[in-house]
Copies of this chain bind each other. A is one copy, B any other.
Amino acid sequence: MNRLADTVPILDWGRRYSRATMTNDMVAAIIVTIMLIPQSLAYAMLAGLPAEVGLYASILPLVAYAVFGTSRTLAVGPVAVVSLMTASAIGEVATQGTPAYLAAAMLLAFLSGAMLMLMGLFRLGFIANFLSHPVISGFITASGLLIAAGQLKYLFGVSGGGHTLPQIIGGLVENIGSTNSATLAIGTSVLAFLYFARLRLKPMLLAIGLKPRTADIATKAGPVVAVAATILAVSAFDLGAQGVVLVGVIPQGLPIPALPVFDLELIRALAVPALLISLIGFVESVSIAQTLAAKRRQRIVLDQELIGIGAANLASAISSGYPVTGGFARSVVNFDAGAETPAAGIYTAIGIALAALFLTPLLANLPQATLAATIIVAVLSLVNFAVIRSVWTYSKVDFSTMAATILGTLFLGVEIGVVMGVVLSLLLHLYRTSRPHMAVVGQVPGTEHFRNIDRHQVETSPNILSIRVDESLYFANSRYLEDRIGTLVAERPQIQHVVLMCSAVNMIDASALDSLEEINKRLKDASIALHLSEVKGPVLDRVKRSRFLDNLTGQVFLSQYEAICHLTRSNTELG
């Protein structure tokens, strides 16, 4: 593969594209298109945007990802969590329903795309590592709950709003009296049908002889059936006149490419949300892409994925869209339906474009309650209480970051929730590594092994203190090292040698080196020699760049055994 094909993967798979592959991709694309139409409309509504924006965000972004992405089967477009984050971010700077709101959504997509692109070009993908799994899964669960709660107002046909659980529930309780019964009937019917489709339809289809894969895909068509059925019901019984809120007239046609308006103050206000959307969207997308790629032993290139998702967002920004990323359900459908190359994404884009051109008039009578029910069923699969329990069992530290993220997201807002989780996990990580495990070790009799004196029957020498440090030494734990060695030495007045066993030390940074120098100096003042043992090659190479070894009062021994032999021998000679 040449370098250009690394950056533009389409050049690689495109030149080997065959007719058979094309047929497979097209079949997959048709199925994904059918699934994506109601999803696009629903997620646009969730983001507080006009329904057509969802379709616009499902055309050019798919083409851009097909050109630049490395996953063969990832299906990008509007997704639930990013739509929620979009609503939260632009709800702060513009009023829903105004042109400014749409403009902010485009700018947000642009910022997010530009950030992802830059991270990809400068290989900064590691920034996504700030998001630990407990923070992400906590955030997704909380988002799912928040989204589902937020859709209830459409199901009841009442007004309401808010970006936190108390606001949403408060608004709902306040307005529940004015529930529209026709809307509620549609909403609950669709909800019941979708749950039936999800839980019971597949076994029934299998029973009548469908292949498992076909049955699986047919099951996913539930929302399309619901959309069609409720449009027909509205038209037949004129439910619009009975107060059922409908999607209404959707402009027919394709988005006119245009750059978003760059307002410096708006950019400042949207920068942090854009970064969070980029990272969350990227992390989610990559995990789907990697899971699917592994099944066929294919590779996902992380830095190139940043460029791929970034390009999709820039494409969304210039086609009146909003932030997009890889979606889980649709990618799995795409994969299962037999998509082999990103060309399937291009065919899907063509399908959505045709829908935007010709299908939109049919959607005017679609009740918002139908879309709300679709969203609720989709996002409740994001809510995963089992994960919360297993993290609780596994580690209280990880659980606390998850809990902070969930509570922060539900009660203070999505951005604060994520930031709280990230800050807390960094703090706790620092706390955890700031007190590395250190063991005073002694020799296992008759062997060359050294073990913790508190756990094993070992031999020690009265004037030698051997300490094993089970962690790399860096700024977060260097002060603890100073402090701990000071304490251990103060407790043992007869000590003349301290041996630091460095078998688990993979790195010594400048702070830790300073601390070692300080320890050496302090021990010297107390007439104690400091020795090192089992220092790894690369660590020792680096230490040799400094003057530490020149001032070291003791020696560097290859093994702890050698250290003890040497020091005991010199003791005996002196004695």
Given contacts A291-B522, A294-B525, A299-B487, contact A542 B507 (CB under 8 A): no
Q: Which of B398, B478, B547 contacts A133 (CB 8 A)?
A: B478
By a CB distance below 8 angstroms, the chain B residues around A398 are 509-511
Is there a chain B Cβ closer than 8 Å to A128's Cβ?
yes
| 19 A-B pairs with C-beta separation under 8 A | A126-B480, A129-B475, A129-B480, A133-B475, A133-B511, A291-B522, A293-B486, A294-B522, A294-B525, A297-B493, A297-B526, A394-B545, A395-B542, A398-B510, A425-B475, A429-B474, A429-B476, A437-B538, A471-B506
Number of interface residues of A (CB under 8 A): 75
Q: How many copies altogether?
A: 2
Q: What 1/0 mask marks residues of chain A from 376 to 394 whose CB sits below 8 Å from any chain B CB?
A: 0000000000000011011
Pairwise interchain contact B510-A395, C-beta atoms closer than 8 A: yes
For the complex formed, measure the closest distance between the CB of A93 and the CB atoms of chain B, giving whole angstroms.
23
Is there a chain B Cβ closer than 8 Å to A482's Cβ?
yes
Pairwise interchain contact B393-A546, C-beta atoms closer than 8 A: yes
Pairwise interchain contact A486-B434, C-beta atoms closer than 8 A: no
Residue of B nearest to A474 (CB): B429
Is there a chain B Cβ closer than 8 Å to A362's Cβ?
no
For the complex formed, measure the closest distance between the CB of A462 and the CB atoms of chain B, giving whole angstroms.
18
By a CB distance below 8 angstroms, the chain B residues around A483 are 290, 300, 302
Pairwise interchain contact B302-A430, C-beta atoms closer than 8 A: no
Given contacts A297-B490, A426-B426, contact A132 B545 (CB under 8 A): no
Q: Which of B302, B490, B493, B546 contacts A299 (CB 8 A)?
A: B490
Is there a chain B Cβ closer than 8 Å to A17's Cβ?
no
For the complex formed, measure the closest distance between the CB of A278 and the CB atoms of chain B, giving whole angstroms.
16
By a CB distance below 8 angstroms, the chain B residues around A506 are 436-437, 470-471, 504
Q: Which of B132, B287, B518 contacts A509 (CB 8 A)?
A: B132
Is there a chain B Cβ closer than 8 Å to A415's Cβ?
no
Tell which of A427, A514, A518 has the most Cβ of chain B within 10 Å: A514
Q: For the complex, what is the distance from the CA of A328 to the CA of B212, rounded to whole Å?
A: 76
Residue of B nearest to A397 (CB): B509
Residue of B nearest to A536 (CB): B470
Pairwise interchain contact B475-A429, C-beta atoms closer than 8 A: yes
